[in-house]
Structure 1
Amino acid sequence: MAVITKFVVVREGEEKMTFTTKKEADAYDKMLDIADNLIPFLEKSELSLDETACEQLAFYLAQNKDELGNLLKGVVKPKPAPAKKAKAKQESE
């Protein structure tokens, strides 16, 4: 018989996600906290977002918080080289 430890993220009495490590569960819970904090911020904007779209946008921004933070700081990742050049180089070798 195997014993399996599961970490369950529960919000407002509803199971949101199950993880095998506490670290993953905590990271997901933190992401949900960020999304919850973004919703009122987005609702104050002049954007015409219905409730569902607002929640989806908040969730997306929370999931990509590191990249968003860099963009807001003015840090832009270099664009990857076009695939055509890499493919042509491989074929010429």
Structure 2
Amino acid sequence: MAVEVCYKVVRDGVERMTFTSKKDADAYDKMLDIAEALETMLGEVDVPLSEQQNEALALEMAKRKDQFIAALKGGKPTPPNNKAKVTDIKKVS
């Protein structure tokens, strides 16, 4: 019998993702915190977005925060680092 350690990211009682690495789970949780803050900010802007659009845009911005930060600082955004993808993520349905 094998023992497998997994880390679950849970938001509002709903399991969002399962990871085999604590570091990856913490990074995903932080990304969700950023997306939540961005969603609040986007809700206050004078651009008509549906709730779904607001949530999707906030999540995409959080996923690419480094690129957005570079652009907001006036620099040229760097292309996404495709090598940094987490390979041990299991989506939870």
Give TM class, smaller chain: 0.7 to 0.9
TM-score when normalising by structure 1: 0.81
Q: CA deviation at 1:5?
A: 0.3
Q: CA deviation at 1:4?
A: 0.4
Kindly, what percent of the aligned residue pairs are identical?
48
| Distance in 2, Cα, partners of 1:50 & 1:63 | 20
Is 1:52 the counterpart of 2:52 in the alignment? yes
Q: CA deviation at 1:40?
A: 1.4
> Aligned residue for 2:66?
66
Aligned residues: 79
> Aligned residue for 1:84?
none
| Higher Cα Rg, which structure | 1
Structure 1's consecutive aligned runs of 4 or more residues displaced over 2 angstroms after TM superposition are none
CA separation of 1:22 and 1:53: change in aligned 2, threshold 3 A: same
CA RMSD of aligned residues (A): 1.4
Q: CA deviation at 1:39?
A: 1.0
1:16 maps to a residue whose letter is R
Greater relative CO, 1 or 2 (CA 8 Å, sep 6+):
2
CA separation of 1:78 and 1:44: change in aligned 2, threshold 3 A: closer
Q: Which runs of 5+ in 2 are unaligned?
A: 80-93
TM-score when normalising by structure 2: 0.81
- What is the DSSP-based 3-state SS (H/G/I as helix, E as strand, rest coil) of the residue aligned with 1:40? helix
> Aligned residue for 1:20?
20
> Aligned residue for 2:83?
none
